[in-house]
């Protein structure tokens, strides 16, 4: 668990799941789980004067985070950085024949975590996930993403990061509800799916809804 402290700055990083129109809405925080989390914590703890920043970029892979990490993370000087990345590293292997090997994925992730550690930034790693909304998603998961998920688990433990196992969480949600209820394409969550992610992040800060 991460203790909320006065003046804490919390940064959201990742791809389109996190970006979610951040450049088009008030406060540049996005319309998804980032808005749920920031709204709840700012509204519940006004005395802490918490600050939230969203620097996610739609379409990003781990290699893109490496390229922009100094400016979009280290320069921001957050106390906490939430990272959700990896599904595009998988996706591009199947729609553009541009794979990211497990070895390169781990190298990229280590690069950004090393910089966070060196700068005293506490990280929350959110596991990349796929919901089985189309038959091909099972192939993507078994042939590629599952290996990247194992890497994120390993690195979270090694770097003493908070870890959110989103694949298991969504799998459990889909036991009683069709996957399409949470995401139209198995990758991008709708408002219900975004809320599932937000609840898990709030738990990291000691809030159980």
State which residues form the domain around 185. Answer: 9-204
Q: Is residue 4 part of a domain?
A: no
Q: What is the pLDDT of residue 52?
A: 97
Q: What is the pLDDT of residues 117-152, one digit of tens each?
A: 999 999 999 999 999 999 999 999 999 999 999 999
CB neighbour list of residue 19: distance below 8 Å, 6 or more residues apart: 30, 54, 56, 57, 58
pTM of the full structure: 0.96
Whole-number pLDDT of residue 26: 67
In a domain, 94, yes or no: yes
Beta strands in the chain (DSSP E): 9-14, 51-54, 80-84, 122-126, 162-164
Overall domain count for the chain? 1
In a domain, 188, yes or no: yes
At residue 65, φ and ψ (nearest 5 deg) are -60, -40
In a domain, 36, yes or no: yes
Give the per-residue pLDDT at 100.
98
User: Which residues, in sequence order, are bridge partners of residue 11?
Assistant: 53, 81
Q: What is the residue-averaged pLDDT of the chain?
A: 96
């Amino acid at each position: 668990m991460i203790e909320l402290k006065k003046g804490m700055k919390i940064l959201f990083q990742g791809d389109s799941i996190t970006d979610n129109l951040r450049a088009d809405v008030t406060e540049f925080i996005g319309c998804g789980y980032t808005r749920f989390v920031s709204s709840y914590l700012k509204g519940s703890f006004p005395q802490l004067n918490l600050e939230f920043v969203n620097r996610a970029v739609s379409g990003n892979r781990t290699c893109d985070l490496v390229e922009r990490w100094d400016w979009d993370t280290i320069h921001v000087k957050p106390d906490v950085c939430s990272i959700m990345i990896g599904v595009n590293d998988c996706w591009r292997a199947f729609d553009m024949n541009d794979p990211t090997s497990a070895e390169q994925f781990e190298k990229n992730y280590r690069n950004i975590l090393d910089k966070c550690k060196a700068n005293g930034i506490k990280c929350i790693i959110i596991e990349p996930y796929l919901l089985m909304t189309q038959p091909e998603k099972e192939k993507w998961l078994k042939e590629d993403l599952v290996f990247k998920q194992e890497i994120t688990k390993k690195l979270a433990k090694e770097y003493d990061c908070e870890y959110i196992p989103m694949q298991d969480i969504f799998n459990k949600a889909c036991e009683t509800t069709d996957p399409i209820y949470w995401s139209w394409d198995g990758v991008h969550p709708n408002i219900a799916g975004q809320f599932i992610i937000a609840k898990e992040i709030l738990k990291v800060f000691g809030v159980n809804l």
